Every structure is written in C-alpha cells, then in structure tokens.
C-alpha cells in the first residue's frame, strides 16, 4: 500500500498548527476592531453632538481626535514593538483600546470624549504595526501568503459593516445606551482578542533599533499645528492666527525632516528612512495617499452631516445610505487585488480615480436635482460608483507604491504610508467637513443651504482627486523606469 505523502508544516516556536491560526484570528479581529471604530463613530457623531452639545466642530473632533494620534504615533508604535516585543505591545495596545472605549462610552461631556478618543487612537498605534511582524513570525511559505491575504477580505468586511453597524447600534438604543453602544461593542471584541493573545509568539527585531523621541515629538507638534486650525473653521476666511499656526506646523515638519537626516547620518535609527525621499515616485505616493484618503474619509463625513444635520434623517437611514459605498468598495477591492492589478498593473490606479470621479459627479448631480428637504434618491447609486472607484485604486496604489523600493526601505515605507493614510483621513474630515459646515451657514439656510454646502464640499474633493491623479501619474513613470531597468 502506497504511503500518502504529506507536506510538512513549518516549525514555529508558538506551537501547533491550530494554535497559529487561532492566533491569526486575534490579529484580524484587532485590525477589524480599529477600522470599525473609525467608521461607526462617523455615522454616530451627529447623534453624539445632539446628546452632549458643544460646538458643531465637535462632530469633526470625534473622528480626528482618533485618527491624528493614530497617524503620528503609528511609526513609533512599530519601533516600540521592535524594541520591547511585538506581542507585549499588541496586548498593551488592545487593553488600552478596551479601557479607552469604556471611558468613551461613559464620557459625561464633549471634552472627555475627545480626550478618550485620543487615547483610543494612541492605543491603535500600538496594535496595528505589530500585525505583519507577528504573522511573519508565525507562518512561512504558502501559509504566510494565505495569512497575509486574509487581511484584505477582513478589512473589506469591516468597511461594509462599519457604517451600517454605527446606524443600527445607535438607532437600537439598547438599554438606553444610544450612541454609547458604538464604543461598548469594542469591549467584547477586545476581550476575545486578549483571550487569544497567549497563542501569539513573542517577537522583536534581531537588531534592536533606538526610539527617536525627538522625531516623534516634532512630528506630533507639526501635524497638530497643521490640522488644529482647520477643524470647525471657515476655510475661505481663516484668521491670521490660523495661518500662523499652520505656517509653524510646516516649519516644524521641515525641522522633523532635517532631524531625520541627522539621526541617520549619526548611525542611529530614524523614524523614517531618508533615502525614501530621494525617490520622486515615493514622494508622489505620499501626496497621492494623503489626498485620496482625505477625499474618501472627508466625503463620508460630509454625506453623514448633510443627511443628519441638513435633512434631519435618522442615524439608521444615514448608516444604510453609506452601504452602497461600502459594498462597492469591498467588491472592487477584491477584484483588483485578486485579478486586475496582476493583469493591468498601474493603470488600475488611474482607472479607479476615474471611476471615483464619475461617482462624485453623479453625487453632485443627485444633490443638484434633489428638492430641498427631500432625500436625494439618486445619491445611492452614485455612492456605489464612488466605492467601486475607491476599491479599484487602493490595492493598486499600495502594490505599486512599494514595488520600486529596496528591501531595507520596505518597513519604513509601509509604516509611513499607513501613517500618511491616517493623516489624510484627518485632513479630509477637517477640511471637507469645515467646507460643508461653513457653506451650510452661509447658504440660504435650512435644507437649501445644506444642498448648496454639500455640493461645494464635493467640488472641493474633485480638486483633491486631481492631485491624486497627478501624483499617481508620477508614480507610474518611476515604476515604468524601474521595470525597464
């Protein structure tokens, strides 16, 4: 009788095959929890404002207070994992996220909620950078490819569920919790992750890098000075103080770049590898990422604001209205990642931006044709097209942003791209949200003013899509030269 041949499973220090895959579940749940938290709060934000009061700019802060510390601490979080151990930082981040979520749910006022949201963002910055390193520590060969490939579908599912879940939880008002349920839902997920975390191996960098504290402080200060004046402001009539703060922010970020060069020249570990900026294609990728994620996150906020504040639509209907966008994004990102990018390469980026622009113009037309006070029915298919375009762009962008880089640059580049993604989300909510709120205030008032304001915000986003298209074209030129060389 012929003996069946079985493929050996790679030996890893964390134990058996089922143990590794259950540990992967913990990593995927943590990734999904962080993405869900951002999207459910966007939908629930107007309800939070109605309950807690405060200035209307608080609606923007509920999102940006999370994404801003997430962005500026993301690279440092990865570096801390290299130094102190990735499992240790992962567990610490998940525990901090759970405690901060409970604090958000119990927050008695706007200031407390914004502060606790910042703690959530800082905790997420400890969690997310550890995921890839831990997967590489647990798996090898085809198993590692399968494990890494599972991240995309999970993120797609979270993107689909997020807006709907935010609307359902807030509308359900379970145990009179109202919007507080969108934070409480994180706690059982975090507890499951913590229960599975002993299955994760401890892992750190073979050569322990140093932590660039001064670089982190410069990045935090510069980014904060740049973003803070934009939230709740009338973008067309910024004060001298606002311009001064943003100028100081740009100067601080310039000092950060010079500091990184000095750290690298001294033989220490910079937060960002300076050689990346010698590549025009990578610099263009940072610009494309910032503007693209500013568009997608900013417009999602604007749509919710117009529906809930402008039309008085309930939170459940507002969340369901974003479902076509999420479904379109999930479908097209799967198609792009599985088939289209391998076959058509960088062209998928520009096609995705073209589809995104088509959907945005369709949304503007839907708003223009809608009667004041009436739900813009044609907005739903337009948002589906927006989602299709966003889903086409994202896998192609990340694939080709990293493709021309050397192996020693990949870790720094991936961390920086993720950080810039969060920064773009922060700027999008700040800028496009402020454009909408200022337009609604200056318009003819009520539903008519809301329709005017949302169109202004969408037209502003059209300009940002143009920036992403130009930067993507520069990326394509460098990628083409790299292939030829």
Let me know if residue 229 belongs to a domain.
Answer: no
- Are residue 27 and residue 136 in the same domain, yes or no? yes
Which residues, 6+ apart, have CB-to-CB distance to 26 below 8 Å? 192, 193, 196, 197, 199, 200
Count of domains forming the chain: 2
DSSP state of 310: I
**Shared-domain flag, residues 168 and 281:** no
Q: Which residue has the tokens 């300076």?
A: 274
Q: Are residues 156 and 261 in the same domain?
A: no
- Mark whether 24 and 161 lie in a shared domain: yes
* Residues 407-426 as b or e (16 or more Cβ within 10 Å = b): eebebbbbbbbbbbbbbbbb
Cα dihedral angle (351, 357, 361, 364), rounded to 10 degrees? Answer: 150
* 155 domain residue, yes or no: yes
pLDDT at 418: 84
Q: What is the DSSP string of 390-454?
A: HHHHHHHHHHHHHTTS-HHHHHHHHHHHHHHHHHHHHHHHHHHHHHHHHHHHHSSSHHHHHHHHH
**CA atoms in the 13 A half-sphere facing the CB of 409:** 16
Q: Which of 201, 219, 241 is the last residue of a domain?
A: 201
Indicate if 151 and 286 belong to the same structural domain: no
Q: Of 166, 201, 236, which marks where a domain is finished?
A: 201
pLDDT tens across the length of the chain (485 residues)? 444 444 344 434 445 666 777 888 999 999 889 888 888 888 888 989 989 988 888 888 998 999 999 988 888 888 888 888 889 999 999 999 999 999 999 999 999 999 999 999 999 999 988 887 888 788 777 777 677 767 777 777 777 788 888 888 888 877 788 899 999 999 999 999 999 999 888 877 777 777 888 988 998 899 889 888 888 777 777 888 989 999 999 999 999 989 988 988 888 878 888 878 777 888 899 999 999 999 999 999 999 999 998 888 888 888 899 989 988 988 888 888 778 888 888 889 999 999 999 999 999 999 999 888 889 999 999 999 999 999 999 888 888 887 777 766 666 777 788 888 889 989 999 999 999 988 887 554 567 888 989 999 999 999 999 999 999 998 877 655 443 33
Number of C-beta neighbours around residue 60 at 10 A: 27
Q: What are phi and psi of 31, to 5 degrees?
A: -60, -50
**Residue 470 resides in a domain:** yes
User: Do residues 142 and 22 both lie within one domain?
Assistant: yes
What pLDDT was estimated at residue 193?
A: 95
**Predicted model pTM:** 0.85
220 domain-assigned: no
List the domain range (segments joined by +) for residue 295.
Answer: 252-478
Query: Do residue 298 and residue 170 come from a single domain?
Result: no
State which of 176, 201, 226 marks the end of a domain: 201
Rounded to an integer, what distance in angstroms lies between the CA atom of residue 453 and that of residue 306? 8
Residue 9: per-residue pLDDT: 44
What was the pLDDT predicted at 477? 75
Q: Which helix (H) or strand (E) holds 468?
A: helix 446-484
In a domain, 21, yes or no: yes
Residue 221 falls within a domain, yes or no? no
> Does residue 217 belong to any structural domain of this protein?
no
Residues 474, 413 share a domain = yes
How far apart (Å, rounded) are the C-alpha atoms in residues 137 and 211? Answer: 22
Residue 426 tokens read as 């922060």
Predicted pLDDT of residue 373: 83
Task: Find the CATH number of the domain harbouring 376.
Answer: 1.20.1250.20
User: DSSP string covering 217-272, please?
Assistant: HHHHHHHHHHHGGGTTS-GGG--HHHHHHHHHHHHHHHHHHHHHHHHHHTTS--SS
> What gap in Å lies between CA 46 and CA 204, rounded to an integer?
42
190 and 328 both lie in a single domain: no
Is position 260 within any domain?
yes
Least Cα distance to 454 among 431, 430, 436 occurs for 436
């Amino acid at each position: 009788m012929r003996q069946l041949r079985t493929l050996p499973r790679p030996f890893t220090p964390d134990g058996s095959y089922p143990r590794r895959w259950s540990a992967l579940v913990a990593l995927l749940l943590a990734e999904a929890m962080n993405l869900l938290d951002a999207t459910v709060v966007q939908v629930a934000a107007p309800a939070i404002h109605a309950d807690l009061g405060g200035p209307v700019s608080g609606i923007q802060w509920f999102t940006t207070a999370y994404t801003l510390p997430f962005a500026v601490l993301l690279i440092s979080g990865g570096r801390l994992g290299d130094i102190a151990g990735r499992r240790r930082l992962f567990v610490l981040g998940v525990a901090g996220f759970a405690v901060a979520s409970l604090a958000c749910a119990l927050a008695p006022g706007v200031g407390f909620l914004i502060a606790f949201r910042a703690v959530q963002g800082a905790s997420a910055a400890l969690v997310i950078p550890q995921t890839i390193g831990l997967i590489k520590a647990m798996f090898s060969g085809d198993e590692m490819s399968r494990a890494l490939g599972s991240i995309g579908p999970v993120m797609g599912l979270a993107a689909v569920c997020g807006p709907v879940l935010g609307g359902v939880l807030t509308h359900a008002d379970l145990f009179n919790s109202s919007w507080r349920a969108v934070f409480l839902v994180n706690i059982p997920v975090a507890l499951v992750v913590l229960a599975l975390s002993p299955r994760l191996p401890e892992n750190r960098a073979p050569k322990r890098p140093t932590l660039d504290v001064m670089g982190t402080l410069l990045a935090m200060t510069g980014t904060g000075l740049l973003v803070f004046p934009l939230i709740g402001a009338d973008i067309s009539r910024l004060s001298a103080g606002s311009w001064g703060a943003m100028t100081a922010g740009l100067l601080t970020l310039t000092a950060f770049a010079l500091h990184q060069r000095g750290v690298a020249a001294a033989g220490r570990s910079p937060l960002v590898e300076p050689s990346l900026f010698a590549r025009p294609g990578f610099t263009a990728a940072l610009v494309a990422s910032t503007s693209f994620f500013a568009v997608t996150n900013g417009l999602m906020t604007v749509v919710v604001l117009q529906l809930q504040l402008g039309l008085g639509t309930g939170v459940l209907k507002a969340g369901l209205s974003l479902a076509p966008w999420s479904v379109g994004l999930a479908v097209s990102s799967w198609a792009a990642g599985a088939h289209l990018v391998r076959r058509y390469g960088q062209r998928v980026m520009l096609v995705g931006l073209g589809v995104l622009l088509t959907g945005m113009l369709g949304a503007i037309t839907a708003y223009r044709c809608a009667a004041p006070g009436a739900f813009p029915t044609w907005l739903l298919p337009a948002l589906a097209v927006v989602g299709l375009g966003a889903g086409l762009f994202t896998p192609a962008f990340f694939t080709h942003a990293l493709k021309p880089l050397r192996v020693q640059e990949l870790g720094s580049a991936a961390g920086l791209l993720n950080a810039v993604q969060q920064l773009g989300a922060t700027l999008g909510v700040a800028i496009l949200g402020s454009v909408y709120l200022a337009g609604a205030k200056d318009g003819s008032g009520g539903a008519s003013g809301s329709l005017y304001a949302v169109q202004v915000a969408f037209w502003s986003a059209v300009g940002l899509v143009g920036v992403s298209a130009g930067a993507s074209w520069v990326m394509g030129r460098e990628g083409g030269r790299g292939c030829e060389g």
